[in-house]
Amino acid sequence: MFDRGLNWERRADGTILYRRTPSEPPFIIDERALGQILRFKFMIPLMSFLTLLPAVSLGPVARHGHVSFAVPVGAFLLGAAFFYAYFRSVERRIKRILAEARPSVQAPEPYKTPRDARGWKTLDDGSVQYWSRTMPRPVVMTPQQFAAIGNENSKVLACALLSAIILVLTDGYRWVGDINNGTAIAILMAVLLFNALYIARFRERRHATLKALPPAPSNAKVQPPLAVMQALLVAASVLREKVAGASVLMLLILGFASLFGMFSTGSTLIQLNEGVAFYFGKRNSFPMGPALPVGAFLVSVLLAKWTASALVARVGRKRD
């Protein structure tokens, strides 16, 4: 765990300095209080998404005349009101936690990007020890070279996002009949081939650059990077732990959101199967196929499974 965050800092004696805003005084809190505050803060952006999900899901249905436009507008207003109430409740909970904490005359230092992470470590002289998945050992590079690697990674992620958008639109145009299956398969193969060649060129150039750099000393403390599948499993485990650590009210909200997501995406898939066309944007600009609702349905099922497991575990602990 990092020793510094956006508005908190762990001191040498193990205590933690925390303040809500730069204009408010700092407080000394313990690890448990920090975990509660960070969990509350983590749920705010998630709640903002979940409260807007019903309105976004009902928008295409209202556009095709199946329900009145007042339904998604009402869902948006109710979601905004619910999110505001949740945000205020989070602020009150944090204030109650800080009311039991001791004030501090020392304020946490301004937040800076962490110097260490899995796979790289910044030294005091500014150099970086970096361990790539393509290398058997870590190397030493300058901050400029490390920044260049970050820019290349951003380009790869942008390429993957653009490819995903192209494939989603291709699925939509294939579903409404604007393109045939052969054209859709050709676009799919072209996108996959482009990404494969781009990633292969990227990996070859990265490997050649890292191979020319000096190796890190044998006593380097940088950890080897995780494999792609291991990183995905770790991310899923972290999300599962976040859901399991939420309050009962939050678990009920997540359960309702997952059930609503399953219902809305399932309804969309049924209507798509019956020939109803859904579009993104205005003027029927971009049609939607079944690929995106299927993905959203699987995510909703996974969220429902995690939420149900957390609720069952919470009820079991209370009985014990």
Average pLDDT along the chain, 320 residues, taken 10 residues at a time: 69 78 78 80 76 74 74 83 84 85 74 67 79 82 83 88 91 86 90 91 86 82 75 74 72 80 83 80 76 87 84 68
CB of 216 closer than 8 Å to CB of 138 = yes
What is the per-residue pLDDT for 193?
A: 93
CB-based burial, 80-92: b 16+ in 10 Å, e otherwise: eeebeebeeebee
CA distance 49 to 57: 12
What is the per-residue pLDDT for 218?
A: 77
What is the per-residue pLDDT for 317?
A: 63
CA distance 80 to 246: 21
CA count, 13 A, side-chain hemisphere, 29: 27
Written as six digits, the tokens of 84 are 């505001």
Three-state DSSP state, 117: strand
CA distance 210 to 128: 12
- What is the rounded (10 degree) CA torsion for 152, 154, 158, 164? 100
CA distance 238 to 260: 24
